[in-house]
Amino acid sequence: MRIGLVSDTHVPESRKEIYSAIVDVFQGVDLILHGGDIAVERVLDDLAQAAPVLAAEGNHDRYLEDDRIKKVHVIEQEGFTIGLTHQFLPYEWDMDKLISYWMGGIKTDIIVFGDSHYEKVEMRDGVLVINPGSAMYPHNQSTRLGHVAFLDLEAGRAPQPEHVEIVNLADRYPQPED
C-alpha cells in the first residue's frame, strides 16, 4: 500500500488553489493523509481526484465542516495503526507522553503530523514519526512548490524510515508562475 502524505497547503492564503503538481504526484496512491492547515475544503476535493483523503484539523481549519477532517484520525492500514494529527508538540516530550496527549493514549505504529513546515522522518521509541513538510510554504518561506511524502506499507513488514520517501516537488515539476 502506498500512502501520500501532505500538509500545510494554506489555500487561499498561499494562493487561490493548490498546485496541480500536488494532485499529479499522488496519482496511483491508495490513500492521502493531509496533516492540516488546509484552510478550504476544496483542497481535499482536489486531492480526492487522486485518492481518498483524510485530514487533520490544523489551526487554520477550525471552522471547516467536512467529515474528512478531524482533530485526530487513528486508522488501521496493512495491520499497522496510524495516527494523523496537525501538531505533535512539544517534541522534547517522551513518546508515551506525546501519544497520551495527542492520540488519547492509543498506541500507534506511525504518527503523521504537520504544522512546522519542515520535513522529518525518524524512529522514536519504536514509532515511525513523519512530517512531510509544507507542500506550498516550504520551510516557512514564500509560496512555492514544497514537499510531500510517500509511505510504503506492507503487511508483516515493520514500518521504518526507509519506507518513507520525501519528495521536493520543485525537483520534479517546474515552478508555476502566479
Which domains are seen in the chain, by residue range?
A: 2-172 (3.60.21.10)
Confidence of residue 175 (pLDDT cuts 50, 70, 90): confident
Residue-level pLDDT at 71: 96
CA distances from 62 to 23, 135, 154 (A): 24, 20, 34
Are 85 and 71 in contact, with CB atoms under 8 Å apart?
Answer: yes
Q: What are the grid coordinates assigned to 40, written together? A: 478550504
pLDDT over threshold 90, residue 87: yes
CA distances from 43 to 3, 12, 123 (A): 17, 9, 30
Residue-level pLDDT at 178: 65
Q: What are the grid coordinates assigned to 59, written together? A: 489551526
Segment holding 99, helix H or strand E: helix 95-103
Confidence of residue 91 (pLDDT cuts 50, 70, 90): confident
SS3 72: strand
Confidence of residue 16 (pLDDT cuts 50, 70, 90): confident
With 0-12 / 13-18 / 19 or more C-beta atoms within 10 angstroms meaning exposed / middle / buried, residue 131 is buried
Tens-digit pLDDT profile for residues 134-158: 999 999 888 889 999 999 999 999 9
Tens-digit pLDDT profile for residues 21-79: 999 999 999 999 999 999 899 999 999 999 999 999 999 999 999 999 999 999 999 99
**More confident position, 122 or 15:** 122
Cell numbers 494554506: residue:
10
CA distances from 40 to 10, 64, 106 (A): 8, 7, 29
Residue-level pLDDT at 154: 97
Give the predicted TM-score (pTM) of the model. 0.96
